[in-house]
């Protein structure tokens, strides 16, 4: 099942297969990568709906989302998985926000939205 609202930015998601579709290209993700990207996309969509800037999602929040507990894993775990997501989806899609966490790059999202 694909979430139709995710196509605002040319992104679709299939939670059953852990696939992300970016600009029509399918990318297979691990479960943790999928959950991390889903959280980043939800944050971007909430900001879009509110007309607000994209909010950075903290490493602790991402840890809780993908692994269920921030205490059980080091935040470096998130960094490694974000690196893997960048390698799969494109290095400019996910931005590091110093001392805050990660967010989807608004400029990349805008380019994707106009290309659709």
Q: Find the domain containing 70 and state its range.
A: 30-115
E strand or H helix that includes residue 36: helix 31-50
The CB-side HSE value for 28 (13 A sphere, CA atoms) comes to 1
pLDDT of residue 112: 77
Q: Domain total for the chain? A: 1
Whole-prediction pTM: 0.86
pLDDT of residue 12: 85
Q: What is the CATH number of the domain that holds 102?
A: 1.10.10.10
8 within 8 A of 113, measured Cβ to Cβ: yes
Q: Is residue 104 part of a domain?
A: yes
CA 85 – CA 83 distance, rounded (Å): 5
Q: Is residue 93 part of a domain?
A: yes
DSSP SS3 for 60: helix
Q: Is residue 41 part of a domain?
A: yes
42 within 8 A of 61, measured Cβ to Cβ: no
Residuewise pLDDT in 10s, the chain (116 residues): 444 444 567 888 888 889 998 888 899 999 999 999 999 998 988 887 777 788 899 998 999 888 887 556 676 889 999 999 999 999 999 999 999 999 999 888 888 777 65
Q: Is residue 101 part of a domain?
A: yes
CA 41 – CA 6 distance, rounded (Å): 8
pLDDT of residue 2: 46
Q: Is residue 92 part of a domain?
A: yes
Q: Is residue 96 part of a domain?
A: yes
């Amino acid at each position: 099942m694909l979430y139709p609202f995710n196509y605002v930015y040319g992104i679709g998601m299939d939670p059953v297969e852990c696939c992300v579709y970016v600009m029509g290209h399918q990318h297979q993700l691990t479960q943790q990568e999928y959950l991390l990207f889903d959280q980043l996309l939800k944050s971007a969509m909430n900001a879009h709906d509110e007309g607000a800037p994209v909010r950075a999602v903290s490493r602790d929040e991402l840890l809780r989302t993908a692994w269920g507990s921030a205490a059980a894993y080091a935040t470096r775990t998130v960094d490694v998985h974000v690196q893997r997501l960048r390698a799969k989806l494109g290095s400019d899609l996910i931005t590091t926000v110093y001392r805050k966490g990660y967010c989807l790059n608004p400029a990349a999202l805008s380019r994707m939205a106009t290309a659709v």
